[in-house]
Structures are given as C-alpha cells and as structure tokens.
Structure 1
Amino acid sequence: MPNFSQGKNLLFILLVILFQSCGKKVGIPPVEAVVVSDTIVVKDTTLLVEKKPDIVQVQPVEEEPKVATEDLNFNYLKAKSKVLWKTNSNSDTYTVDIRMKKDSLIWMNISVSMITGATGLFTKERVQFFHKINNEYFNLTYDSLSAKMGFKITYEILQSLIVGNQPFKKNHSRVIRENENYILKQDEGRIQIDNYVGPNRKLKKLLVNDGPTENKLTLDYEDFAAINQFLFPFSSQITLDVKDKDNKLVKTLISIKYSKVELLETPLEFPFKVPAKYLNK
C-alpha cells in the first residue's frame, strides 16, 4: 500500500504545484548640461546686460536597470515528474502528473508504484483535494489555504510558478546587479521576495521570507532546456524552513525532475471526482 502519511497530503500537493517549473530536455534556439551664451536685452534707451549664472557641471546619474523575466505563452500544459520529499525523519518518492488550462484550471494526480493516491483541482476561486487512500476531501478558499501555509497563495501565483515565471510581476522591484545575475527585491505585505534572474531572463532562484513567522522558502532552478522555443528548468530543488505548532524549525527538501512536458492547443480533460457523501457534508 502506498505511503501517504496523515497531515502531509495537503501540504505536499500544494508545494509540488506551488514551487516548481517544468520542462523536457530537447535541442535549443549623460545628463547634458546646456550652455546658454550671455544675452543683451534692450529696454527703452538703456542698455542692459543679463548674465546667466555660472553653469555647474552635472554628473550623469546611472538609472536603475530595467529587468524583465521572459514569460510563457500557452493554452494547455501537460507534464509528468518524479518528486522526492525528504525530511529529517523520512523520505518518499512520488510520480506527479500535471494538467493545466491557462488562467483557468490546474489539475494534478499523485501516485506511488502506479497506484493513484490523491487528486487535486485548483480553480481561480477554490482548491479541492481528494485523498483516495485515506478517504479525505478538502475544499478550501485561497485565504484559508494561505493561512494554513503561512504564505500568500493565489491561483495566479501558482500558475506563474508552475511555468517558471516571476510570481509578483506587478509589484515594484528594487534591482541589484550580482555578477551575471539581477536580483529583483520585492515586498508583498509581510512577505519579502528575492527573484534571481539569469542572463537567459528566467528565474534561477527564488527566496521567500515571511517576516513575522520567520518561515523561509528557497527554490533553485537547474538544467534549463527549450520547449517550443521557451526555456524551462528541467529540475528544481525546494528547501522549506517552517516552524511547527510548537515553534520548532522543521526543514523539508523537495526535489523535482521532469521526464515530459507538452504545451498544447488541443483541450485536455481534467478528471476530478469526489464521492457524493463527501460533497454533502
């Protein structure tokens, strides 16, 4: 029987979607100071000489660089991955299938040894999750999910992170140059975000820090490859430092490696069924 431990299921399905990108390895593609000469002004019969003040040399000011990540344009996405979940006490490996309709639906299926253990469906309004083995059903708003996770979560954030985009693009960023990379520093309420953008204009690293709780997330993207002329990280690693209810720091490592991804124009099916006895509660 596959091992899907109690209490971890909801956290797992969220994090697998929340902090990943997907891909299949394939072949690639001065400020000017204007000097005004002395001018002579004639008024009646009196000759007046109007002298301009001495010109002060203005040093050019270096503007903050404009940095933008490269977004993905798609209609449907279909992907398969292997996910390693590791803590200090145990580790588990899962097969995770994802289907997605842009700006509308995210579906995922989690299995172990070819046996489906859980299915989740994310719409723009709600998160639904059915754990088939434990017979558990969750139906949450994003506000309640954000409260459980300790981070702000919306459908738009999930979608951006799945396809490898910067999650808070409309938020004003302070830009810092670090070697070949740019760091886009942002504040989103009580959350501080550092986006590391590489020369390929894709996220290389994402740091998220929740000030009041000191919960931290680090996401490293690796093995970039091209799909439909867009770059995706073929693998990624997530490190979570989150305090539990007893205020003890719990470290979790999640490694994601993709074997296949497709960007499609043809509509996909999103099979999500929950027994009526759970819906009527």
Structure 2
Amino acid sequence: MKHYSIFLFTLSFLIASCKRQQVSQTPIISSVDTLKVATIPTQKDSVVAAPVAPTVTPNTPAEEEKVSIDEIDFKYLKAKAKVSYKSPNDSQSFVVDIRMRKDSLIWLNISAFGITGATALFDKDVVKFYDKLHGEYNEYTYANFAEKFNFNLSYDILQALVVGNRPFKKNKSRVTRSNEYFLLKQTDNKVLIDNYIGENKKLKKILLTQEDTSNKLTLDFDDFTTLNQFLFPQSSLITLDYVSKVDQKMYQTVVNIKHTKVELLDTPLEFPFRIPEKLLNKN
C-alpha cells in the first residue's frame, strides 16, 4: 500500500512526487497488453508516434459536420475501477472508488485488500490529498504541478480522463482526416492537443504535448459500453512520457483503468473528506 500515492501522481501528474524526490537512473519503457501503445524512444527530443498512419488531408465542410463528438452528459457519476500502473521504479494495483459532480468535483478513495490508503478531492482550483496510512495531508494548486513538472494540468483534463469527454471545448479546432480518425488539433497555454475521434463519434485518444518540454500525456479510451443511452469507455489507458530534471533522460509511466461498475445519476452524492484536526493545523 505504500506506493498508492504514485498512482495518484500519474493520474494528475503530481501528488506522490511532491512528497518524494527519487527518480530512477535507468529509463524503463513499460508495455501494456490491453491496448496498443506506440513505442517511445528514450532520446530527450523524441516524439510519440501517432496511433495511425501520419498521412492527413485537409478537412472539408462535410467532414466538419461528421466530426461532432457524442459526449457523455450527466450530473453525478459513481464508479469503481481496478487500476494498475507501471513506473520506472515500481508497479502496483489498486481498487479506486470514484465520485464526480460534473464540472465541479472529483473524489477518489484508493484501497487495497479492503483497506483505505488514501483519499483525494479535486475541484477547479485545488487538489486535497489525505494519506491515511502515513498520517499526511497536503493541498496543491494546479499551478504547483505546472511549476514542478513543466506541464499544465487542469481539472478539465482529469474529468476527461474518467469519462472520455473532450477537455477543451471552447478552443478553436483545426480538423484533418487521418485514415479512420478525424483529428481535431488545438492549443491551450503552450499545450498542443490532438483529439482523435472515431467513426462512432466517440473520442478514442487525446495526446497532450507541452511545447517547451516535449513532455506528453496520452489518454486512450476503449471498451465502449452503452450506459444511459451514452457510449461510455470502460477502459482508459494513461501514458505519461516526461524528461527527468535529474538526468535529462526520457521516462514513461503507464496507468491502466478498468471500470467494474459505473452509474450516471441525477441524485446528489456525498463527497466525504474528513481530515484529523492535528493535520489541518500543520497546513
């Protein structure tokens, strides 16, 4: 259980490494069998391969009409997922309970062998993390993570990770065609966003690239199942490729999420997050 916070780090680029500064000196490229992932070279200036052939053609008005995305609409979400991750230093598996109020809150309860190890609460501005096993509590802003990891993270990206909706809806898009995918290209605060949309109008992949560091976050969605008349991705694959500030080498961490139960609800949910007073006084 001592490494569950590494999962949360990968999930949001952040938490565990804010407490631990250790970095492996041997680059390890993880492989995941459940979904096809492009091989990542270990050179600092390497680029992640696209999931399909790179040939693209300019969009036409007809293609722009086809590129509309069927997104999941909900008020509250309740889910349970099996999560596994592989990092340069370790690999672990957990059970994660997820609750969400759309565009507002994400609550995670991380456990193993039936024992709760940590709880996290994400809102639009702050991330709260309670390490129950080790008696530690911390709060972070998204700016903290951008400064530490040279990557701009947001609540909208985290929400997209869970439900498979497009995180940057208001940004202007340039549409191209890449074999069986429509590719929507966007930019947001020095982040390049590639949205790959399948013929079923579902978002299949998001590739986020930080321009000034070449660090990359890839979200792959698969195993779509009908849920409340929406196609919901039961599997998500998160791949983080980053250059270490310690040795300037490229490393990779992979998180695989398999939802075992998902409910889209109109009834309000509770988001329990109780911190011992003695820990609150330290912050």
Q: What TM-score, normalized to structure 2?
A: 0.77
Residue of structure 2 equivalent to 1:65: 63
> 1:4 maps to which residue?
3
Matches within 5 A, 1:58-137: 62-63=60-61, 65-66=63-64, 67-137=67-137
The answer on whether the counterparts of 2:78 and 2:98 sit within 8 Å (CA) in structure 1 is yes
The amino acid across from 2:123 in the alignment is T
Is the Cα contact below 8 Å between 1:4 and 1:117 reproduced in 2? no
Structure 1 unaligned regions, length at least 5 = 17-60
Shift of 1:95: 0.4
Larger mean Cα displacement after TM superposition, 112-121 or 132-141 = 132-141
Q: Quick one: structure 1 residues 256 and 10, their matched pair in 2 at CA, closer, same or farther if it must change by over 3 Å? A: closer
CA distance in 2, matches of 1:268, 1:238: 26
Q: Give the C-alpha shift of residue 119 in structure 1.
A: 0.1
Aligned-residue offset at 1:240: 1.4
Aligned to 2:161: 161
> Which residue of structure 2 lines up, in the alignment, with residue 53 of structure 1?
none
Q: What is the CA distance between 1:218 and its match in structure 2?
A: 2.0
- How far apart are residue 13 of structure 1 and its match? 4.9
Q: Is the 8 A contact 1:9 1:131 kept in 2?
A: no
The CA distance in 2 between the partners of 1:145 and 1:8, in whole Å, is: 14
- Equivalent position of 1:252 in the other structure: 253
Relative to structure 1, the CA distance from residue 9 to residue 86 in structure 2 (aligned partners, 3 Å threshold; closer, same or farther) is: closer
1:43 aligns with: none
- Who is 1:191 aligned against? 191
- For 1:160, the aligned partner's letter is A
**What do the CA deviations read for 1:18-74 (whole angstroms, capped 9, x no partner)?**
xxxxxxxxxxxxxxxxxxxxxxxxxxxxxxxxxxxxxxxxxxx95473222122221
Counterpart for residue 277 of structure 2: 276
State whether structure 2 residue 242 is matched by structure 1 residue 242: yes
- Answering whether residue 210 of structure 2 is matched by residue 210 of structure 1, we say yes
Hey, what's the Cα distance between the residues in 2 that align with 1:90 and 1:252? 10
Q: Provide the secondary structure at the position in 2 that maps to 1:65.
A: helix
* Over 6 Å off, 4+ runs: none
Distance 1:105 1:141 in 2: 14
The CA deviation string for residues 131-178 of structure 1, in whole angstroms up to 9 with x for no partner, is: 111222111122223333432222233223322111111111111112
In the TM superposition, what are the counterparts of 1:10-89 in structure 2 within 5 Å? 10-14=8-12, 62-63=60-61, 65-66=63-64, 67-89=67-89
- Give the aligned residue type for 1:276: E
Q: Per the alignment, do residues 71 and 149 of structure 1 end up closer, same or farther by CA in structure 2, a change over 3 Å counting? A: farther
Distance 2:7 2:229 in 1: 35
Please name the residue that 1:267 is paired with.
Answer: 268
8 Å Cα contact 1:77-1:263 kept in structure 2: yes
SS of aligned partner of 2:169: coil
CA distance in 2, matches of 1:254, 1:222: 14
Q: SS of 1:277's equivalent? A: helix
Kept after mapping to 1: 8 A contact 2:152/2:210: no
Q: Which amino acid aligns with 1:14?
A: S
Q: 2:7 and 2:258 mapped to 1: Cα distance?
A: 20
The amino acid that maps onto 1:269 is E
Q: Give 1 or 2 for the bigger CA radius of gyration.
A: 1
Residue 96 of structure 1 contacts residue 111 of structure 1 at CA under 8 Å; is this kept in 2? yes
Alpha-carbon distance in 2 for matches of 1:62, 1:9: 42
